[in-house]
Amino acid sequence: MNSLPPLALNRWFRALGFCLALAPCAVHAEGLRFVQAQTEGGAIEGVVSADGKVRTFKGIPYAAPPVGPLRWKAPQPVVAWTGVRQAVDYGPRPMQGRIYADMVFHDQGPSEDCLYLNMWMPENSGQAKLPVMVWIFGGGFVAGSSSEPRQDAGNLCKKGVLVVSFNYRLGVFGFLAHPDLAREAGGSSGNYGLMDQVAALKWVKRNIAAFGGDPDNITIFGESAGSFSVSALIASPQARGLFTRAIGESGAFLSQALPMKARAEAEAQGAAFAASLGKPSLAELRATPADALLEAALKRPIFDFWPIVDGTFMPGDCMSIYSAGSQQHVPLLAGWNRDEGSTKDFFDGLEATAANYVAKVNAKYGARAGGFLKAYPASTDAEARRAAADAEGDAFIGFGTWKWIELQRATGGCPTYRYEFDQTLPLAADATPGTEPRAPHAGEIEFVFRVLSSRNLPWRDEDRNVSELMSSYWTNFAKTGDPNGPGLPVWPRYADAGGNPVMHLSAEPLAVTDARRGRYLFLDGP
């Protein structure tokens, strides 16, 4: 959508006697319909959708640009502006390389100046306090942006919620730990990207009422690294009181494969990185151009820049915090997708046969191989392919998410709901012959946001039905802490008394007793 130049807009608003009410007010110009609001940083103007049903504000700063002397510091307050700031386009995405082929961005490009958020809300909903859903994107903490079209919340918000998304610092810019940074900050370093997430939530808490949102009814939800973030925010004392419910899609920091790093290890890696650049001082590091830093960081292992147990934001690891019941006691809806793992990764170049499967298991698990084969049995080549994919998916995502749900139920004192996304995506017209339909990692995002059209696939009516089902469950949970509602299949709480029921989300949705519990009990064992 085209918009008026900033100066023309400012002159036009002044001539109109620009209103700064607490609630946004709509105005018209040259066939466009703009909407105005006041934030703590100043006045902004967004747009109303062509169908008149959605108000959108994009690119709103929630913290000062983390550049120059603010690089690798906790996010600082927004720099206020004068006049009216346009909020019609996404802000720049965080600095990153081209890492994941499935990511498409609709923003201005990468920049260190990336701390911006976006909002979607129903137009004229007639509701003074809309439930708020705050989305945290995934991408391994090294890639991603709130501008991905599969995360556009224009359709999701029509179900009676206000949706917020935001950017946070990634990679070396978001998670560099260094002894000198720890000394500068009074004892801890790293986790700047997670601090950004808290800053965004604090901004929402302070400002959302001006947009019709309820600051006392905020649900955080995220996928992959976004879901890992949700598990960390529940555990962190710095996020306490900033949200009332949580949704996790595929991932948590309770995984044996992907835990938070220890501070000493992370700071040693950060010091080695600085030495490799010939930049021993913080002043030199902060003076290094962002592109040069990114180029050097992309040559190192991806997990060199990863969330850590820093002693402040994370006073301990998630396993110990949840086990002690020290996390926030909030309702949790969480789960993962059927095909999180890859048969190819398990066999690592070997032919995918039952014999090779057993050989791989014996080589990896030794004395525990018998227990593994009982948890993941396979007597045919086809069963071996399926068991291998399941094992990879559980190691990558399933076990950590399962353990998160288990501990939140056991020590969190609040309702928990567990799902499995089973809806296989339709195959593209140019799919390789013999390709099997899958429900892969991140495959549920378009369904949750009701934006199947953001991806060029031959979508079926059953896919659209699953999207309506999931978006209803998600928004119902955000409204009441319970995903159930009129016309929906009953989703029972996750509880031992009910056989640990799992809601299988597919064209034939059904909640059934967890038939795979033995897998996770085995992985949870010694």
Residues 6+ apart with CB under 8 A from 155: 449, 450, 451, 471
Determine phi and psi for 56, rounding to 5 degrees.
-130, 135
Closest CA to 34 of 7, 57, 14: 57
Please report, for residues 47, 88, 152, 322, 339, the alpha-carbon distance to residue 24 in angstroms, rounded to integers and kept in the order given. Answer: 11, 15, 21, 40, 43
Letter for the amino acid at 350?
A: L
Report whether 403 contacts 334 (CB < 8 A): no
- d(Cα 311, Cα 189) in Å, to the nearest integer? 9
Report whether 371 contacts 386 (CB < 8 A): no
Residues 6+ apart with CB under 8 A from 7: none
Length of the chain: 526
CA within 13 Å, CB half, 258: 29
- d(Cα 429, Cα 438) in Å, to the nearest integer? 15
Owner of token pair 């009332």: 244
Q: Coil, helix or strand for 345?
A: helix
Whether 340 is catalytic is: yes
Report whether 379 contacts 357 (CB < 8 A): no
- Catalytic residue selected from 45, 148, 223, 340: 340
Strands 130-136 and 162-166: parallel
- d(Cα 445, Cα 448) in Å, to the nearest integer? 5
Letter for the amino acid at 137?
A: F
Query: How large is the greatest C-alpha to C-alpha distance in the chain, in angstroms?
Result: 80
- Catalytic residue selected from 189, 223, 441, 504: 441
- Catalytic residue selected from 147, 224, 229, 255: 224
Query: Which residues are catalytically annotated?
Result: 224, 340, 441
